[in-house]
Structure 1
Amino acid sequence: MDNREILNFCLQGIKDKGLDKGQCIYSINEKYELNFTKESISLLRTTKDSDINLTGIKDNKKSSIKISNLDYKNIENKIGELVEMCDSSREDEFNDIAPNSDNEEFKYGSDSADLHKMYDLILDFIKNINLKYEQINLIGGTNLTFNKKVKYIGNTNSVYFKSDTSNYSLALTYAAKNQETSSSFNFAQFQFDELPESFIEYENIDKKFKEAVEQLYCIELEEKFLGDLILTPELANEFVVYYNQLFLCDTPIISKTSMLKDKLGKKVADNKLTVLCESISDEISNKVFVTSDGMKTYNFPIIENGVLNTFLLTLYGSRKTKKKFAPYTENIRILNGDKKIDDIMKSTNKGIILGRFSGGQPASNGDFSGVAKNSYYIENGEIKYPIKEVMISGNIYEMFNNIEYISEETLNTGCSITPWIKVNNVTISGKA
């Protein structure tokens, strides 16, 4: 059988076993991975695997099962298990699958990896690190990969999509170290359609290594104060994702715990903030054409000039709440502002530049507290020194309503495009 016949075999099996509705996602994943250290390339690994995710609904009872052994007899047995799982599940009238739509196939990226260029780029990268940043150490998990993902998505409503995507991914975990001490570890990850000419010069990698060396000599703050927080682009993305999860997705909207549950079309953030979901943006490498619900994605605004445009509800969430479905993925763009980051820093009286946040999941009301890692103290418009063991606390909702500036510059990680954001009135707690 070819790949689409496997999909149809599963869907027919769902019907034959007496399920009312069903969905099948057949995935074929291929990866070429080069792991490396500061000294050399340590591993070349090629993996190829396939799996099937089946979802069934019977008498409004829903369940799902993953199948790794794709022997046809095993698939039949697993569909039988899925029926039993549905029988023992909780009935919910809002369980459903995607409605019928036009069949489409999506293709993006290269069919094969350029292994020679991958290899040469890593050797050049290692050479540059040793020449420029003798104190930088690359930690486990550092690799360059080529990822090819083919998905066949169908359901018993005659939905059919094929998504064939590929890209390259660079994952870095690193820290600086000398004879006396080491910096806090940090990480970076980028995805791109085509390999760049150099990694050391790509986006902010050189800057992040330079900062890691500076962070060998962190200083403790001696006071607690209410100050400004400058979010690096990575942290701007992280806190927006927190915001979406806490206030806009299924759980907080269905449970009515979200403080934004009645704010659709109303102001929920500073008017300088515009957040877009860009699943298929030309500028983002990590394209997602179809959701796990079997719905086609599109780009849309989440917040426009501080006004909430949509909740981020799945098919189930939209049926349960009788609100609009949104094909949300975490491919986020925050529109940039008109002020240079250097000028934003010069405008800062007292605060910190937040490079990494180490803390638990924020509370349902948006309260957060954690340690500022890989961060800097800034006073009277000057970056004074890197800091250690400084706590920050505040509220995400209030934070995005207290935006002073958004930078002109942005960072494109391949999954997000985000600027620097300066917010006011965050509690910063030093040693005192």
Structure 2
Amino acid sequence: MDIREAMQYCLEKAIAVGMQNAQCVAQQRDVEELTAADGEISRLNVTTTTTLHLTGIFDQKHAAISINCFETASLDRAIEELYLLAKASKPNPAYAIADYQPPQEIERGAEAADRELMYARLAEFIEYCRATYPPSVLRETHLAFTRSHIYVRNSNNVNLAAHQGVYRFTSLFSAQNAATFSSAHLDRELQTFGAVERQIQQAVAQLAAAPLTEKFAGDVILSPESLGAFIALFADQLRDHAMISGASIFRHRLRETIASQKFTLHACPFAEEIIDSELITPDGYVAQNSTIIGSGTLNSLLLSQHGARLLQQRRAMNNGDGYVIEAGGTPLDTMLASTRKGTLIGALSLGKLSGNGDFYGVAPICAFVQDGEIRTPRRHVTIAGNLAEALQGIRFVSRERAEFGTAIFPWLQIRNIMIAGE
């Protein structure tokens, strides 16, 4: 049977065996991918994955199971196991399935891959890199088209579907960096999307990078391509685990000022420029755009339906993706000119946040900035600070922004961050 038939069968079977509430979420991903290594494009790889996630609630007891076989016997076994797991679990009144929403079918992006254009664009990119940059810079490049489908049905008569077609590009460089973007089309050269061109240039400069031999407190300028790690670290503090456990440093800060008034962060899965996002939340709700931080004020958390019911807060309107940081009024040149001593970060890896909000990270690609000028590229620079203080210490948000198809980010200048060699 097909996906929708399997979902309907599972719902009816779950209710028949005694479940009081049941929900089915099915996901199918069709991926067509080209890979280039050592200047050669490999053959096209085509894969399809389909998964059905089943949720059941019985006397406030909850269970969930995932399967990828839609034969009747497999579905029957899964439903029986779901019921037994639910009966054995502990009751919790916060368990629930998605509330009724009018039936909806969402379509975004391209309906099918243009394979000839994919090959032509990738070959064009390889030739461009070969002619413009040292051959040692480019390691491996992937260009894929993903057609994804998600369906939600439950015993509250929810019937949703979303279909999305996205080209995804990833290029790995010798400087331990990767350039990525997502797009609904390939109407121009690959290096003109996102920050690809700038990231290649940074990787070339990094070949001659010197170690940083000092430690100091200075300004950190996060580039659009490095901001994702910083925003993800912050967003994790608003999600279920941190909020329910009480570990979040922002647990009691809703509707309070937590950042510079120059900083506004949205989650916009349906923004026109955002083509690669979750259109339906894992809970089974159609996503909506939202403002997480508005002019420095924490406006919303990123709680699931379960987390929101448990903490008696509002459920998040989306899963916390499609991030858009509003542009500021400061040109990047002015931001750099204002920096007495600091670093411009082109790539960033951050560890987990400590209990008091302290963070530590490594910047494999960065440049030393002194007296308003970009100086020698540095390698494996470490930065350390406190997340709450860093948000309050945002000095400037750049006028310029970069669009990645998954997010829209400016440059961000943060004061008083510890900077040191590895």
Q: TM-score, normalised by structure 2?
A: 0.96
SS in 2 for 1:425: strand
Q: 2:185 aligns with which of 194, 215, 220?
A: 194
Cross-structure match for 2:313: 323
Matched, 1:276 2:253: no
Cross-structure match for 1:180: none
Q: Alpha carbon RMSD of aligned pairs, Å?
A: 1.5
d(CA) in 2 for partners of 1:56 and 1:340?
Answer: 53
SS in 2 for 1:200: helix
Matched-pair contact (CA < 8 Å) for 1:24–1:153: yes
One-letter amino acid matched to 2:158: V
Q: CA deviation at 1:283?
A: 1.0
Residues 1:414 and 1:136: Cα distance change in structure 2 (over 3 Å)? farther
Matched, 1:352 2:351: no
Q: 1:376 aligns with which of 347, 367, 377?
A: 367
Cross-structure match for 1:301: 291
Matched, 1:415 2:406: yes
Q: 1:241 aligns with which of 209, 232, 235?
A: 232
Q: Identity rate of aligned residues, in percent? A: 30
Matched, 1:77 2:71: no
Cross-structure match for 1:171: 170
d(CA) in 2 for partners of 1:268 and 1:313?
Answer: 18
Q: CA deviation at 1:2?
A: 4.8
Cross-structure match for 2:122: 122
d(CA) in 2 for partners of 1:213 and 1:289?
Answer: 37
More moved, 361-370 vs 312-321: 361-370
| Gap regions ≥5 residues in structure 2 | none
Q: CA deviation at 1:257?
A: 2.8
Matched, 1:152 2:151: yes
How many correspondences in the alignment? Answer: 421
Could you report, residue by residue, the CA deviation over 1:280-337 in whole angstroms, capped at 9, with x for unpaired residues?
1111011422101011111010110001111111100110011111123321001011
Q: CA deviation at 1:107?
A: 0.9
Matched, 1:230 2:221: yes
Residues 1:164 and 1:203: Cα distance change in structure 2 (over 3 Å)? closer
| Runs of 4 or more above 6 Å deviation | none
d(CA) in 1 for partners of 2:74 and 2:178?
Answer: 41
d(CA) in 2 for partners of 1:312 and 1:3?
Answer: 29
Q: TM-score, normalised by structure 1?
A: 0.94
Could you report, residue by residue, the CA deviation over 1:327-355 in whole angstroms, capped at 9, with x for unpaired residues?
23321001011111122111110001122
One-letter amino acid matched to 2:405: G
Matched-pair contact (CA < 8 Å) for 1:168–1:191: yes
d(CA) in 1 for partners of 2:355 and 2:135?
Answer: 41
d(CA) in 2 for partners of 1:123 and 1:20?
Answer: 55
Q: CA deviation at 1:15?
A: 0.7
Q: CA deviation at 1:359?
A: 4.0
Matched-pair contact (CA < 8 Å) for 1:136–1:212: no
Matched-pair contact (CA < 8 Å) for 1:38–1:129: no
SS in 1 for 2:231: helix
Matched-pair contact (CA < 8 Å) for 1:171–1:189: yes
SS in 1 for 2:106: strand
| Gap regions ≥5 residues in structure 1 | 176-183
SS in 1 for 2:211: coil
Cross-structure match for 1:179: none
d(CA) in 2 for partners of 1:112 and 1:68?
Answer: 24
Matched-pair contact (CA < 8 Å) for 2:365–2:380: no
Cross-structure match for 1:102: 102
Could you report, residue by residue, the CA deviation over 1:60-92 in whole angstroms, capped at 9, with x for unpaired residues?
221211111111111111111111222232321
